Amino acid sequence: MYVCVCNSVSDKAVRKAVANGARNFIELQQATGVGTCCGKCVGCAREVMLDAIEEE
């Protein structure tokens, strides 16, 4: 599913960025571009990121 519609970032892409070392939202944004347009996805993207970090 898409987490960020504006930038076409999927939950898979967020998980991949975490697997590649993203550990906070700024790093996630730099890696994927998530949340850099309208910002509506930020809460959801953060949740997916935190889940992925927990699962590591």
The reply on whether position 6 binds ligand FES by CB under 6 A is: yes
By CB under 6 A, is residue 11 in contact with ligand FES? Answer: no
Q: Report the C-alpha dihedral over residues 20, 25, 26, 27, rounded to 10 degrees.
A: 0
| Shortest reach from residue 2's CB to ligand FES, in Å | 8
Q: Is the dihedral of CA 19, 25, 27, 30 positive or negative?
A: positive
Judged by beta carbon, residue 45 or residue 56, the one nearer ligand FES is 45
According to the binding rule CB under 6 A, does residue 30 interact with ligand FES? no
